[in-house]
Amino acid sequence: MGKKVCLLNVIKSKILRTDFLCKLILCMALIISKLYFAVHYINLEYRGLGTEEPNIYMYLLMAFSDPSMAYYFVLIAFAILIADIVYEEYLTKNLFIKYGTRKNLYFGMLKLTLVFSFLFLFLFVLLAFIVGSCGGLSFSFEYTKEAILLLGEEQEFYILRTTAIYVPVSILKYNSLLILGIVIFKYYVGLVLLSMIGLVFSIKKDNVQYGICAILLTVLLNIAVLDYVGPWNFYKIGISIDLSEIFSYVTLQRFFIFDFAGIKKDVIMVFGDTMLTGAIWFVLLSAVIYRMIRKKDF
């Protein structure tokens, strides 16, 4: 029971600090501005198609599949906020000294990572829902099938990479709420992995600023390879290697958008591959963090 109270105190003590609240308000304002313009984009796209009206479901699906939303707004905001939460003096000193084992410190850090990532994602979902509802979108959680099929016929590789929709046509084979749950859950896994990357560098350098930089560099790597699709040809030796799928694994790309490996596969197959990738990343990062905690002089 005591451990739970300590972990809650870590989050509460950090969130209630003035500097954190200022950063939180600024980050949320930036995300809301992007969400507001996204309502305009999706209305404009559907008006051009002349099919159904856009609804809140397609808007949420777009919000969690749009590369510009993820890389230029959400993940940068997450990087600014998460590093201060998962590694700071209260946790590393007070909790470690009180419970006396590095194992407790390790699990305490992981719990903070999981909880704060969930709270951040919940806030993002809430903001997207509120902005979409206030933007006049119809309150429906069904696919706009005509628009998806029409756009799918026009797009190479059967992926909708337009202004307003970034999802594979294969989603139509499955329940709409199932797909939305899958998209949000893989987003959550991606946030957890990003926070663990930040935690590794925060522990290594004993400074949260290094954790922020590590997450931002990971995001920049995702941006750098975002528009690359296709093989690299080595003509002299007659080899053609499609690096796009490799990029989707090593850059955590597949957790935040449907791209690269996802464009030619069934959406459920992509989800399975993504979860396997996430499990491997989680085990590796957990092992690194635990080893660093065991060796670190607190």
Task: Please give the C-alpha separations between residue 225 and each of 71, 197, 246, 264, in angstroms, as whole numbers.
Answer: 12, 19, 11, 18
Q: What is the pLDDT of residues 196-214, one digit of tens each?
A: 888 888 888 777 777 778 8
Task: Give the mean model confidence (pLDDT) for residues 265-269.
Answer: 80
Host domain of residue 191 = 2-295
Say what the pLDDT of residue 71 is: 77
Looking at the DSSP bridge assignments, the partners of residue 142 are none
Number of domains in the chain: 1
Cα–Cα distance for residue pair 278/220, rounded to 1 Å = 19
Q: What is the pLDDT of residues 212-254, one digit of tens each?
A: 788 888 887 777 766 554 445 444 555 655 566 667 677 787 7
Q: What is the pLDDT of residues 140-187, one digit of tens each?
A: 888 888 877 776 655 544 344 444 566 677 888 899 899 899 989 999
For residue 262, pLDDT beyond 50: no
Cα–Cα distance for residue pair 160/157, rounded to 1 Å = 9
Cα–Cα distance for residue pair 237/136, rounded to 1 Å = 57
Say what the pLDDT of residue 153 is: 58
Q: What is the pLDDT of residues 8-35, one digit of tens each?
A: 666 777 777 787 888 888 888 988 988 8
What percent of the chain is predicted at pLDDT more than 90? 11
For residue 261, pLDDT beyond 50: no
Q: Which residue has the higher pLDDT, 170 or 127?
A: 127
Tell me which range, 66-70, 136-140, 263-267, 286-290, is most confidently predicted by mean pLDDT.
286-290
Say what the pLDDT of residue 189 is: 93
CA–chain centroid gap for 153, Å, is 28
Say what the pLDDT of residue 106 is: 79
Q: Which string of b and e fits 146-176 if b means at least 16 CB within 10 Å?
A: ebbeebbeebeeebbbbebbbbbbbbeeeeb
For residue 89, pLDDT beyond 50: yes
pTM surpassing 0.75? Answer: yes
Say what the pLDDT of residue 88 is: 58
Say what the pLDDT of residue 188 is: 94
Task: Give the mean model confidence (pLDDT) for residues 119-129.
Answer: 90
